Structure formats: C-alpha cells, structure tokens
Amino acid sequence: MTDTLLQVKGLKTWFGDGDNPARAVDGIGFSIRRGETFALLGESGCGKSITALSLLRLNPHPASRIVAGEVLLNGQNLLPLSEAEMEKIRGRRVSMIFQEPQSSLNPVLSVGQQIAEVLNWHFNTDKQGTYERSIELLKSVGIPDPHQRIKEYPHQLSGGMKQRVMIAIALAGEPELLIADEPTTALDVTIQAQILDLLKDIQQKTGMAIMLITHDLGVVAQMADHVAVMYAGQIVETASRRQFFNDTQHPYTRKLFEALPSEQKREEKLTVIKGSVPPLNQPFNCCRFSDRCDFAWQHCHDVAPRWLESEGHGVRCHLYDPEVSAERVKPELAVTSSRLSEVVPADKALLKADRLKVHFPIKKGILQRVVGHVKAVDGISLDLRPAETLALVGESGCGKTTVGKGILQLVPVTSGEVSFRGKALTRLPERELKEVRSAMQIIFQDPFSSMNPRMTITQVIEEGMLTSSIKAPADRARKVDELLQRVGLRPDIKYRYPHEFSGGQRQRICIARALAAEPEVIICDEPTSALDVSVQAQILNLLRDIQHEFGLSYLFITHNIAVVDYLAHRVAVMYLGRVVEEGLRDEVLNSPKHPYTQALLSAVPKIDSETRQESVKLEGELPSPANPPKGCHFHQRCPHVMPICRETYPDLTQLSRSHTVKCYLYEDNYGSTDSN
Amino acid sequence: MPFLPVFLWTDILIFLLLAVVAAAVIYVRRRPHLRAPWKSVIQRRRGMISIMVLSCYVVIGLLDSLHYRPALENDGDSTSTHYATEVISVFDRIAQPLRQQVEKTYSAPFAHRLYVKEMQTAEDGALVYDYPRLKYGASHLDNPANKLEDITSTIVKATLLSLLLVIIVFILHCLFNRKRLGGSVVRQAARITRGESTYPLRTFYLMLFLITVTAVNLVMLSADYHVFGTDKVGQDVLYQALKSIRTGLVIGTLTTLVMLPLAIMMGIAAGYFRGWADDVIQYIYTTLNSIPGVLLIAAAVLILQVYMNNNPEQFETIAERADMRLLFLCIILGVTSWTGLCRILRAETLKLREAEYVLASRSLGASNFSILHKHILPNLMHLVLIAVVLDFSGLVLAEAVLSYVGVGVDPSMISWGNMINSARLEMARDPVVWWSLTAAFISMFILVLAANLFADVVRDAFDPRMQGAR
C-alpha cells in the first residue's frame, strides 16, 4: 500500500520501572493514509496523548519509555532513529499542535520570531524569504492584517488567534502529517467551528494527513474519515466514519454514544458506564472493559479478546469473535423514572435578578486611579421559578459565571437588585445575608479546586451545615452518611481526603455539601465541563434526581448546548454581559431568533452528521467587555447587521408569552422585512 | 534546697516552644494528610541523617537551658542557705571538669605543654625559659612521650564501647520488633540489616554509630586532654563550642517565634482583606525592607546597652544581663526579618481567597474568621514551615556575623560569634592559634549543614510538584 503514510505496530509506552509499570499505551496499532483525517477518540487517561507524543518520541523522559513497537513513516521506522535525525522529522514531516494555545506559545517571543524559528531550522532561506513565508502562513490560517500581527506577542492575541498561530507554526515545515491533540477543547464552540473549518480547508489545499485526538464525538463526526477508539491503553475499535456512526460495535463505544445528553433523551435517564477505568499498572489477562460491560460473561473475565477485522472495521471484543460462543447477556435496561415532563415549575419567581450590573474597575498608575470598567455583567434581568432549571448559555468571557457570583453576593454588585422570595439581597447587611445564604448554593466547574485539600470529607460536608438546625454531632454524622449515600457514595469514605477521589466523585461530594445546607436554589457553574462524557452522564442524572426529590431550582450555567437540551426548562442566552434571548427551551433551541443564538447553535458539531445543514458561521471573536462596541454588541459579527444596530442597543421584543429577544430584526419599526 | 532554679527569659521561651512543637507533633500524628509528608521526611536518608544530627544539638541546647544557682557550703550555724551568684546550667554540671579545668593560657589540642614559654624553676633549682607542663591536660602521664600510645588506646576503648552500645540498641530494637511484628529475633535482625523496612534503618544505625563514636571519644578524651585546646584565659575550647550551641539555637528558633505571628497575621490580613489593610501593610514592609538591617540592629542593641548600664539594679546576675541582651537580639532580628515571609504569605492568600472552596464556604454563610482558620491558614502552613526551617541556618550565621561586628550577643556569653571575634587576634599572632576558630567553624558548620539538608528534605516533602517524583 503506497498511500499509507504512517503505520504504527504494537506500540507500547510504559511509565515507571519495577514490577508494575503503568502501561499507558499497551500495544496499539493503526495506520493513517495520505490526506485523510484519522481521529483517536477516548476519555481522559486512556493514553491518547501519550500515543501521540510517543509517535514523535516526545513522551516524558525518563518517566516513561517506549518498550516495543514500530512507528513507520513512509516505511521508515522512527523509533531507532537518533535524536539528531528525529529533529529533522519533527516539525518538518510530522508536526503537532496542542490543546492549550496559551501555554504552547512562548510569551517573550513575537509571533514572527516563533514562526521564523521553525523556518530557519528546516529551510535555508534568507531574512526576506522567511518574512514573506511567515506572512503567507499567517494569511493561510486566516489571520487578518498579518503584517501587523507578525510583530505582536502572544498576550496580545485572543485564544482563537493563538491557536491559529500555533497551526501556522505547525504548517511552517510543510508537514505530511499534523497531529492535533485536542486542538479545540479549550476554545468556545463558535471559535471551535472556525478552527475545525480552517483545518479542513488546509487539508484540502495541502493534502496533508491529520491525526486528530479528541474526546468529543461531535468533532469526530464533523472531521474524521477514520476513527479509532482507545480504552485503557488499547484500541478497542476502528472504523470508517460511516461504519462508526451507523454500526457501532464495541460495547464501550456504544455506551459513549448513549451517555451523550440530548433532546431525545429528555424523558429518560442517561446511560452511565458503571465503575471506572482499571488501573493500568497490572498485566491484563481479561478484557479490560469486562468489569464495566453490560454484555460481559465469564469468558470476558478469563480471556483477553483478540483483534478482529472485517471490511476495515476492527473491534476488540468477544461478542464478534466467531470462535467464541457468546452467551449473549441481556443487559438490564435502566429504569426510566426520571421524566423531565413530570415536574412542572410553578409560575412565580423564587429568585429574581433585576437589571443586575457587576462592573470591575480597571486601575492604573501609581495612584491606582480607576480608568475604566470591565462590564462583566451589564444589566441582566432573570427570574427563576421553584423547581425549574434555567440554563444560562454563552461563550467564555460573556460574564455568565459572574452572574452566578453576583446573585450569591460573592462579588460586589454595582447596581441592580437581586431578590430571593421577595427579599432584596443587595441591600441586606452581611449579618442578615448569612441567614439567606444557605438557601442558595453553588457547584463549581473544577471539582479539584472546590474542596479544601486539607479537610476530610466529613469536614467538607459538615461545613455545609453551618447554618443548619442540626447541632448534635451524632445527628450531623448521620446526616453526612445520608447525604453521601444520596449522591451515590459509600459513607465509609468520609474520613478520607479529597485528593483520593476522581473528578466525578469529587463533584458528587460537592453536591452533597451543597445539599447539606438544604438549599432551594443551586447555581451550577459548568458542573460537568471538566468531566468525561460517561461521568458527565452520572452527574446529570444525579442533578436531575435530586431536583425532583428536593424540589430544587437550578440556575445552570454552561456552554454545552447538549446538556441544556437535556436538562433545562428555560434558556437564557448571554452575549457580552447581556441576555440577548430568553425563552422556553423549545423556543430558544428549536427556533432561535437572535442571530447570535442561531450561530451558536449551528456551531455545535452534530453527531448525526449525515444531514449537514448549512450553518451560520461567525466571523471574529467576542469583543472586550471593557470596551464594548457601540450599539448592539453583536453588530460586528452579525450577518444581518443594519445601520441602526451600530447606533443604539436594541430593546426587548416580546415574541410570545415566554420568548423574548433583543434584536432590531424583530422590532416592528425596523425588522422583519430585512430578515429574509 | 541544694539549688535555686533560675528562669531566664530565653529558657522560658525555649520550653514554651518545645511545648508548642510537642503539641504540633500530637496534632499532626492524628491527621494522615499532615503525617504523610513528615513520614516521607524520615523515610529519606538525608532526612534521617539531618534529624539525628539536629537532635544531638537540640539535646545539648536543652540541657544548657535548665539554669540554677547552686547552694553554697553552709558555713557554721546560719539557718538560711546562700546561693552562688554564678548561674550554671545542667549542662555545666555534667561538663563540670571541662568547665573547671582551666589552664593559664593558650594550649594546643592534645598538648601537654602550654603554648607560650614561661620562666620556671627546674627541679635542680635552675631557672629555665621553656614551655611549662599543663595543670590538667595530659597531667596523668608521667612520661609525655607515651601520649600517642595513650590517646590511641583511649580511642580504641571508646570505639569498642560505642560499638557495644549500638549493638545493645540493635538487640533491643529487634526484641521490640518481635513483640510488635512477630517472627523470630533473627528474622527481625535480618529485616533491619537487609534494609527491608520502609525506613532507612541501615542509615540510622550507621549514623547512630558515628554519633556514639564521636560522643564517647570526646567524653573519654576530654577527661585527660583538651581536645580542642584552650583559649587565651585557659578555658577549654571544646566546652566553649558546646556552650555556643544553645546561643545559636536560641537565636535560630526564638527569632522565628517573634517573626511568625507578625508575618502570618500581616500576610493573611493583607491578602485576605485587601483594600486599605493591604496598602498599609505593604507600605510598612516596603519601608522596613528599605532600612539596612544591620543598622537597625546596631541601633537597637546599643540603646539596650545604654539602658542596662543605667539600670543595673534590674539584673541580679551577669547571666540575666546577657540573657536579656540575647532575647532583645532575637526580637530585633525577628522584627527585621518578617517581611520576606509576609510577602510570600500575602501572595498565597491572594490566590487562596479566590479558590472555589473559599467561595463555596462564603456561600454557605461562613464567617471571615472561620474561613481564615479553616481554609486559609492550613493551606499556608507548609510555606510557613519551609520558611522557618530555611531561615534557621541563616539566623545562626547572622548571629556569628553580628557578634563579630560587635552588636551581637553579650561579650560574656559564649557564642560562635564571640569565639570568632576573639579568634581575629589569635589568627594575627605568631605562631598562630588556629584551634578556636576551627572548633567554632566545625560545630557551626555541622549544625548549619544539617539544618540545610533538613530544610531541603522538608521542602521536597511539602512541595506538591515533588509528590510523584520521589
């Protein structure tokens, strides 16, 4: 096969020495053809990044070592090459881009210098040639005004720009293969859509192959020609995209699909994968997934499955092995008790925010004079009803987290009012505020920083009972046990410390702490965005269950539209400190009115991608909240911009009893005629 | 009563500190997340070595901190007992021979003669100008020519004795282990010698042997010789070097005791409350940092000196005077050295106050005080600990420098700084007197090296980035 660019055979990268090295990559093999996009899919910790690093022999040294295998690039094995020879390959024939554009650019070198470094290393060009080539590269990755940008430093660029520069640097060596390690995970959906389009575009022009490492099925659906699924250091399934999405075979892959939240699953619980990834520092002589598999029978626990391949669709599972007589185990179907439609929110406001503003002063100079304000939240009105989930959706930097903190009075509110059960919180003195506090709780995004590492789990949860009526230590201890059981943890873990738990378990403990305060409102600040899909499903199920059980109201802050679709009753879309559209979930997500909402929704990669609709692509990025554009904040990126949009901010337009939008398109005096 | 206990200020503070440390040990033992890093300190060989060396110093320092005035011989029929004006410590009592065997002037280590010639009458009545025999050093020898033999045999005896001691400890350890873990004594002995324990026991025994050999040798040799010679007034230099340990330890530990409350309170207040509190504290430490430290210390010490000279009635004994000056030096060193730690704590608090668990705690209605002591302070303690251990060796060295300049401890107090100060003249004379400086150097060097090694290990143990790397 001449069109095979990269072939990996039996690659093993182990961490640590001694009797039980961690087998992070344990004998994987795949091949990438010229010009195709190969996606390596898997949850965190399954070894995908180490695989990518091992291909270029960039795996951490001396912590890990490549034990066995072959990496054939055009038939040439890379593993026995000397370091000097590898330098000629890295960046020239295979280059790599990383997840975090922030940390992969050197902050003290200008963009031009960083591109020139690669060019000078691999090509003998003069200064003029280097400059011209750099400009050309910046143009090719869609950076406007490259002559200006080439002199700038990384901190002057936004996240999306940085990732474009990273791609430009990776392209500088004109590689045959680009390894992209979660290139869009740190970016917002609209920026993600831009970057993915850019990658596809470049691939068509240059014909290079892309190895895309991701955990996002949506990205796979949009980008990949071939997919490989990794689990616990092994590839468990490979297929072309069509096969992959139409005929999923391995139970793990199927579970991944089922765990994804979506509109169709609103009435049921999400499927979860029981247990967790087995520790990799042991030799396996069984199927690695057997403990978590619904279909597993005795044979799975005794014999490791072999690799089976038919018509380009490979799978590592006994179910498809003709030599193994499968005892088909009928999995028990999850009981669908958790119907969203069962709960009907009452029609009165429990929590109300009225023209809430949170401005952060920008101070400058020796005297710390205030020279301006970052208008993080700029006049937001929301109301949350009992037992309701209101989703607050927006890109990072639009101020949605600050809304949550402002409502809880955790940041000083500039103006406006927050009232809880008719009590105006903004005017309460600290002492009286404390009494209301326990009724409103918050769950944070990062389960690793939201617990004091020096407190035991009991102490963490008991902190939630500060204002509770339970005083006796024995009663408190009983309550802690109860709460731990409620969130699905064993009570005997309570004397352990947070670092001993996984992200999902920690998030459960945080939920238990919030519940300990017996709240009526919980503000969920992206509680699942740091978690894997299967763990996310567990947390979402839990959140929904406790909502039904305790009649909680959620203000669910997120950027993940699928989660909103699954969980929310109502949705508010935020853009640069203001709500631009608000309404019932069905109204906002299925017939979005504001151009920004439309763009946001179409930027989300769809899994059922056979029906690729024409999407609204957004240009540019979120403007700075310190200096918002005049008129409608969105007018610079809006495809339907009108002269009036550049002048004044639009008023609220009531589309139905529950659906409101702030856009001139729907105002009687200006809109409708232009819109279509 | 045969003695009158004297409580010097520094003694009280030292034992207070000891009580605090003991309480901390009990506290830490109950908490696995705090116990783990300490365990890893002991489990490392460097940690084991430095802890053993440091504890030798600490024991000597503590013995030297129990002061009393011995009763004088009751002459005749007076009913009340009188006490000596001289304050001595338990350590002085133990090292009585060392303290009291004073020669006339300089003598070299292991010498049997004085270092300066003197006019003396020979047995036949003739006047001879020669090096006279020492009053105590090697006085048990009839023929000084046998000195080398005598020393060698003492060393051999001492080494054998210490070997015996170590073996006794080893056997007791094995017996104890058998009771605790089961198995035969031989099995336990094999376990220790093969290094199968999680602790570096082989290092422990090697170090134990080295320490006992040194100690027993010093004890046995110093009975008959001046191991490090004598100084200008004929005092044993080994005794001086050992007495200096307390001074060094006091400076190194009490200063941190003064510094810590300031640094912790100011640092946390600045970082947590921000606003004007932050501004004021920042200005204070920026100002304090801009004043040259030595200048401030010199001024403060000189003021105290004048005060003490004007009010001699407040100090009963010379020891109390010297002690007051030592305490004052600790305080002034503490006041000038809290700024560094304060800065670090402020920065860390700034970070911690935005931590999500602090926000969560606030949203649960916790008060500022409970946030500070439950969330902020425990997460700062590792920094405090590292700073204290790192500062210790610096302060011991600072004492030497300050005493050398003349603004350190009281000249009557034995300290490494004073020893070095007097060695200044000795190095200039011919033939040179080198042993005073050498003794001060060796004893100080071992302490500071052990403290630095200890600081290193502690920092590694408490550094979250190092957790996996060990």
pLDDT digits (tens, 9 = 90+) for A461-474: 988 887 777 778 88
Q: What is the pLDDT of residue A673?
A: 46
Q: Which of A438, A449, A499 sits opposite B357 (nearest CB)?
A: A449
CB < 8 Å from A in window 121-140 of B: none
Which residues of chain A have a Cβ shorter than 8 Å from any chain B Cβ?
Answer: 405, 408, 410, 433-435, 437-438, 440-442, 444, 446, 449-455, 463-464, 466-467, 497, 499, 510, 513-514, 517
pLDDT digits (tens, 9 = 90+) for A400-438: 888 988 898 888 888 888 888 888 888 788 788 887 888
Alpha helix stretches (DSSP H) within B227-317: 237-273, 275-290, 293-310
Do A512 and A492 form a contact (C-beta atoms < 8 A)?
A: no
- Sign of the Cα torsion A414, A417, A421, A425 reads positive
Q: What is the pLDDT of residue B280?
A: 93
Percent of chain A as helix, strand, coil, to the nearest 5:
35, 20, 45
Judged against a pLDDT cut of 90, whether residue A211 lies above it is answered with yes
For residues A122, A124, A130, A136, the Cα torsion angle rounded to the nearest 10 degrees is: -60
Do B99 and B117 form a contact (C-beta atoms < 8 A)?
A: no
Tell which residue, B138, B135, B132, has the closest CA to residue B117. Answer: B132
Do A168 and A105 form a contact (C-beta atoms < 8 A)?
A: no
Do B123 and B261 form a contact (C-beta atoms < 8 A)?
A: no
Select the more confidently predicted residue: B31 or A14.
A14
Measure CA B59 to chain center.
9
Q: What is the pLDDT of residue A341?
A: 59
- Dist CA A214 CA A583 (whole Å): 33
Which residues contact residue A315 at a Cβ distance below 8 angstroms, ignoring those fewer than 6 apart?
A236, A237, A238, A249, A250, A307, A308, A309
Please give the residue of chain B at the shortest CA–CA distance from A406. Answer: B363
- Dist CA A578 CA A356 (whole Å): 10
Q: What is the pLDDT of residue B33?
A: 73
- Dist CA A137 CA A167 (whole Å): 9
Q: What is the pLDDT of residue A606?
A: 77
B379 near A CB under 8 A: yes
Which residues of B are less than 8 Å from A410 in CB distance? 359, 362-363
DSSP letter for B446, please: H
- Dist CA A113 CA A136 (whole Å): 14
Please give the residue of chain B at the shortest CA–CA distance from A62. Answer: B469
Do B84 and B70 form a contact (C-beta atoms < 8 A)?
A: yes
Do A113 and A167 form a contact (C-beta atoms < 8 A)?
A: no
pLDDT digits (tens, 9 = 90+) for B312-338: 888 877 888 888 889 989 998 888 888
Q: Verify whether the Cβ–Cβ distance B356 to A453 is below 8 Å.
A: no
- Dist CA A571 CA A390 (whole Å): 6
Alpha helix stretches (DSSP H) within B354-415: 356-363, 368-371, 377-405
Which residues of A are less than 8 Å from B362 in CB distance? 410, 437
Judged against a pLDDT cut of 50, whether residue A1 lies above it is answered with no
Tell which residue, A106, A119, A161, A105, has the closest CA to residue A138. Answer: A161
Alpha helix stretches (DSSP H) within A386-532: 400-407, 430-437, 457-463, 473-486, 503-516
Which of B363, B381, B463, B470 is the best substitution to test chain A (most A C-beta atoms within 10 A)?
A: B363
Angle at A565 (CA atoms; ends A559, A568), nearest 5 degrees: 90
Give how far Cα A344 sits from Cα of A341, A523, A582, Å: 7, 19, 18
Q: Which of B357, B364, B379 sits opposite A466 (nearest CB)?
A: B364
The backbone region for A325, taken as left when phi is positive above 0, alpha when psi lies in -120 to 50, beta otherwise, is beta
Q: What is the mean pLDDT of residues A2-12?
A: 86
pLDDT digits (tens, 9 = 90+) for A438-452: 888 889 888 888 888
Do A212 and A203 form a contact (C-beta atoms < 8 A)?
A: no
- Sign of the Cα torsion A616, A620, A626, A627 reads negative
Q: Which of A437, A444, A464 sits opposite B356 (nearest CB)?
A: A444
- Dist CA A572 CA A600 (whole Å): 13
Q: What is the pLDDT of residue B464?
A: 60
- Please provide the size of chain B in residues: 470
Select the more confidently predicted residue: A669 or A502.
A502
Q: Verify whether the Cβ–Cβ distance A497 to B378 is below 8 Å.
A: no
Do A618 and A603 form a contact (C-beta atoms < 8 A)?
A: yes
- Dist CA A32 CA A55 (whole Å): 12
Do B160 and B212 form a contact (C-beta atoms < 8 A)?
A: no
- Sign of the Cα torsion A492, A498, A503, A509 reads positive
Please give the residue of chain B at the shortest CA–CA distance from A436. Answer: B365
Q: Which of B33, B361, B366 sits opposite A454 (nearest CB)?
A: B33
Tell which residue, A489, A462, A464, A488, has the closest CA to residue A473. Answer: A462
The backbone region for A501, taken as left when phi is positive above 0, alpha when psi lies in -120 to 50, beta otherwise, is beta
- The H or E element spanning position A87 is helix A83-89
Q: Verify whether the Cβ–Cβ distance B355 to A449 is below 8 Å.
A: yes
Q: What is the pLDDT of residue A212?
A: 92
Q: What is the mean pLDDT of residues A123-136?
A: 89
Burial of A165 (C-beta count, 10 Å sphere; 0-12/13-18/19+): buried
Judged against a pLDDT cut of 90, whether residue B212 lies above it is answered with yes
Q: What is the mean pLDDT of residues A340-352?
A: 70
CB < 8 Å from A in window 18-57 of B: 32-34
Strand partners, A522: A441, A554
B292 near A CB under 8 A: no
Q: What is the pLDDT of residue A87?
A: 87
Chain mean pLDDT for chain A = 84
Measure CA A593 to chain center.
25
Q: Verify whether the Cβ–Cβ distance B365 to A435 is below 8 Å.
A: yes
Which residues of A are less than 8 Å from B33 in CB distance? 453-454, 497, 499
Radius of gyration of chain A (CA): 27
Q: What is the pLDDT of residue A342?
A: 58
Least confident stretch, A123-127, A261-265, A483-487, A631-635: A261-265
pLDDT digits (tens, 9 = 90+) for B43-92: 889 999 999 999 999 999 999 999 988 888 766 666 677 888 888 899 98
Judged against a pLDDT cut of 50, whether residue B252 lies above it is answered with yes
Alpha helix stretches (DSSP H) within A551-661: 561-567, 585-590, 595-603
pLDDT digits (tens, 9 = 90+) for A510-546: 999 999 988 999 999 888 887 888 888 888 989 988 8
pLDDT confidence band for B469 (50 / 70 / 90): very low
Q: What is the pLDDT of residue A674?
A: 44
Structure tokens belonging to residue A196: 């993915």
Tell which residue, B60, B58, B47, B65, has the closest CA to residue B21. Answer: B58
Q: Verify whether the Cβ–Cβ distance A440 to B363 is below 8 Å.
A: yes
A249 φ, ψ (degrees, to nearest 5):
-110, -55
Q: Verify whether the Cβ–Cβ distance A452 to B375 is below 8 Å.
A: yes
Do B251 and B395 form a contact (C-beta atoms < 8 A)?
A: yes
Which residues of A are less than 8 Å from B359 in CB distance? 405, 410, 442, 444
Q: What is the pLDDT of residue B232?
A: 85
Burial of A500 (C-beta count, 10 Å sphere; 0-12/13-18/19+): exposed
Please give the residue of chain A at the shortest CA–CA distance from B380. Answer: A454
Tell which residue, A39, A373, A45, has the closest CA to residue A217. Answer: A39
Q: Verify whether the Cβ–Cβ distance A410 to B364 is below 8 Å.
A: no
B2 near A CB under 8 A: no
Select the more confidently predicted residue: A146 or A608.
A146
Q: Residue A433 CB: number of other CB atoms within 10 A?
A: 16
